Amino acid sequence: MNLRLRVDPIACTGHGLCADLAPELVQLDEWGYPILADDVPPALAVHARRAVRACPTLALKLGRAERGAGQAQNRRDHGPQRSHGSRRN
Amino acid sequence: MTALSADTTPVRASGASARLTAGWHAADGPASLAEHTELYGPLPAHLGGLHGRRRGETLADLVLAAGLTGRGGAGFPTGRKMQTVASARGPAVVVANGMESEPASQKDQALLSRAPHLVLDGINLAARATGAQVAHLCLARNRSGLTTGVLAALAERERAGLDGVPILVHELPHNYVSSEETALVHWLNGGEAKPTATPPRPFERGVRKHPTLIDNVETLAHVALIARRGPEWFRSAGLAGGAGTMLVTVSGAAGLPGVYEVEVGTRFADILALAQPDPGSSGVLVGGYFGTWHQIGVLAQLPFSAEGLKPAAASPGAGIIHLLPPDSCGLVEAARVLRFLADQGAQQCGPCIFGLPAVADDLAQLAAGRPEGDPLDRLERRLGQIAGRGACRHPDGAVRMAASALSAFAADVAGHARRQPCRAAGPQLRSARLPAPPGGWR
């Protein structure tokens, strides 16, 4: 079962703790808002959980990676910054 | 083809394509219930929801067989959405979206102001199909004339005892994102008319946590005709694989701008020809402010449908074509639209609060020929980072529009970046005249 980080973009106010605690999974855009990696590899699950617990606005969540509606949110759809996803796979 | 003398949007229908517009393209006021019934026949009484019906006989089945897709822009199969809501747990709610917050679209206002009973029939049928106990019709608050006409039509229906469920009319704040479906639900639940994070989607948990069917008013008007005439009749119109007819708003550099009813899949050039485009016009915005910019020649031979426009990475959206006048600059217009979209966001998510104003600045610098640093470089980086990261699709639509302008007007981009003089005579699009400050959210 693959895990995936999700962020509620309305609740998120860009504190950026997630990127400090799980830099392999979370990058920040130039305004300090998270850009999330694709699935969380098992080895990084502990970092992902730590980032979720630290989020001051409870915006970050860890759940199962499911296909279907709503999955595109806060992923790197396209654009130059794909490095994390491709490095691990 | 007849133009209207009234100050309302001209509606033009061409012969066989006239279905929704049959009989009212020359009208300057709402059709009465008697006129409506004479034109289309009575509302069928036998069609209902799932209970006691065999498979293939429910209204949702008929609508699915007809191949009707949402006319609000997303283009999802309407019958499938009806089936999902009808089979969900608990009583359903129907919401008709008549907000038409897209500045380049006029078709929903044209429809509601001439044929309100067609839309109200569709709401009635959708409520029956989903087992809803109540239906809501959402209109923009600043269009009181439209609301008055709809309320008068509802009063007629009440006297005739036509609607089994109450249809409540609401006037919502008129912001661009307030017509997004989660914004409608949030407002109907007592909140602000701003989009909310999904899931849950409204069809799962919407108004008062009930499964909620949200359809554009034109979509519901088509449902009213499918219920009367059947799916085969609906599919008898439509070209290049498209089903039925659609309303299209043509504006900008055209001799006959207005709302047209055409078969889905009509060749782009044939729709333009109806509106008598300025022969010097070359740039076009398709799909509205969330749409894409193109050179007309690229689209001319393509069928005007979601499928047909795909090769050009375009979509009809809510049926919108805006022709740029020959003396205007596509970049200037795109920068204005982007600024409008940045101002009209709900300011809830990072990409909307910071991302859109930043790219609007970049594009404005480029369009004005006064670049600070390298706005093109910044745009290429930022446009790729914003999409898919808001609660709703507002940022996605805005950056898609901006990116399409950079590619459709690539020659202008190069000139502007070198600070060459721009050929624009001045702002042309309606965005230039739209008031930026929204009128509140509640």
- Shared domain check, B114 and B158: yes
Rounded distance, CA B379 to CA B283, Å?
21
Q: Crossing angle for the helix pair B356-368 and B394-408, nearest 10 degrees?
A: 20
A68 pLDDT more than 50: no
How many Cβ atoms sit within 10 Å of the Cβ of residue B410? Answer: 11
Residue with tokens 């393209």: B25
3-state secondary structure of B375: helix
To the nearest whole Å, the CA of A12 is away from the closest chain B CA by 7
Within-domain flag for B368: yes
- Shared domain check, B84 and B203: yes
Cα-to-chain-centroid distance, residue B385: 26
B390 touches chain A (CB under 8 A): yes
- Beta pairing class for B283-286 and B258-263: unpaired
ipTM higher than the 0.85 cut: no
Within-domain flag for B278: yes
Contact B73, B218 (CB under 8 A): no
- What CATH number does residue B300 fall under? 3.10.20.600
- Shared domain check, B318 and B395: no
- Shared domain check, B83 and B142: yes
- Shared domain check, B256 and B229: no
Residue with tokens 């205007």: B328
Q: Crossing angle for the helix pair B144-160 and B33-40, nearest 10 degrees?
A: 70
Domain boundary among B323, B355, B385: B323
Q: How confident is the model at residue A81 (pLDDT cuts 50, 70, 90)?
A: very low
Rounded distance, CA A38 to CA A75, Å?
7
Cα pseudo-dihedral B366, B368, B370, B374, rounded to 10: 0
- Shared domain check, B180 and B45: yes
From the candidates A26, A31, A71, which should be mutated to test the interface with B, based on the most B CB atoms within 10 A?
A: A31
pTM (two decimals): 0.89
B353 contact residues in A (CB cutoff 8 A): 31
* Domain count for chain B: 3
Contact between chains at A10 and B391 (C-beta distance less than 8 A): yes
- Shared domain check, B354 and B230: no
Q: Report pLDDT digits (tens) over B139-173.
A: 999 999 999 999 999 999 999 999 989 999 999 99
Rounded distance, CA B84 to CA B186, Å?
21
Closest CA to B101 of B286, B288, B248: B288
Q: Report pLDDT digits (tens) over B370-385.
A: 888 999 999 999 999 9
Closest CA to B215 of B102, B96, B116, B74: B96
How many Cβ atoms sit within 10 Å of the Cβ of residue B76? Answer: 13
pLDDT at B222: 98
Q: Report pLDDT digits (tens) over A7-59.
A: 999 999 999 999 999 999 999 999 999 999 989 999 999 999 999 999 999 99
Within-domain flag for B224: yes
Contact between chains at B381 and A80 (C-beta distance less than 8 A): yes
- Shared domain check, B319 and B360: no
Domain boundary among B211, B235, B259: B235
Contact between chains at A32 and B350 (C-beta distance less than 8 A): yes
A32 contact residues in B (CB cutoff 8 A): 350
pLDDT at B369: 83
B191 touches chain A (CB under 8 A): no
How many Cβ atoms sit within 10 Å of the Cβ of residue A41? Answer: 15
Q: What's the Cα-to-Cα distance from B27 to each of B5, B32, B78, B218, rounded to whole Å?
A: 10, 11, 29, 18
pLDDT at B46: 66
- Shared domain check, B215 and B182: yes
Contact B392, B342 (CB under 8 A): no
Q: Please report which residue ranges of A17-80 form alpha helices under DSSP H.
A: 17-21, 45-54
A80 contact residues in B (CB cutoff 8 A): 381, 384
- What CATH number does residue B187 fall under? 3.40.50.11540
Structure tokens at A55: 């989020």
Cα-to-chain-centroid distance, residue B145: 20
Within-domain flag for B435: no
Contact B331, B318 (CB under 8 A): no
To the nearest whole Å, the CA of A49 is away from the closest chain B CA by 21
Contact between chains at B350 and A78 (C-beta distance less than 8 A): no
Sequence letter at residue B18: A
Domain boundary among B178, B206, B235: B235
From the candidates B192, B361, B362, B385, which should be mutated to test the interface with A, based on the most A CB atoms within 10 A?
A: B385
Phi, psi of B129 (to 5 degrees): -65, -30
User: What's the domain range around B267?
Assistant: 245-323
Q: Report pLDDT digits (tens) over B21-63.
A: 887 767 778 999 999 999 999 998 766 554 445 555 789 999 9
B191 pLDDT more than 70: yes
B388 touches chain A (CB under 8 A): yes
B182 pLDDT more than 90: yes
Q: Is B217 exposed, middle or buried (0-12, 13-18, 19+ CB in 10 A)?
A: buried
Closest CA to B120 of B193, B227, B203, B19: B227
Sequence letter at residue B149: G
Contact B333, B423 (CB under 8 A): no
Q: By a Cβ cutoff of 8 Å, what residues of chain A touch chain B?
A: 8-12, 14, 29-33, 35, 69-70, 72-81
- What CATH number does residue B378 fall under? 1.20.1440.230
DSSP state letters, B268-336: HHHHHHHT-B-TT--EEEESSTTSEEEEHHHHTTSBSSTTTTGGGT---TTTEEEEPPTTS-HHHHHHH
Rounded distance, CA A71 to CA B250, Å?
35
Within-domain flag for B310: yes
Within-domain flag for B130: yes
- Shared domain check, B108 and B216: yes
- Shared domain check, B188 and B81: yes
Within-domain flag for B3: no
Contact A87, B215 (CB under 8 A): no
Q: How confident is the model at residue A72 (pLDDT cuts 50, 70, 90)?
A: very low
What residue of B is the nearest CA neighbor of A68?
A: B199
Within-domain flag for B222: yes
Phi, psi of B250 (to 5 degrees): -110, 125
How many Cβ atoms sit within 10 Å of the Cβ of residue A40? Answer: 25
- Shared domain check, B309 and B347: no
Structure tokens at B357: 């104003």
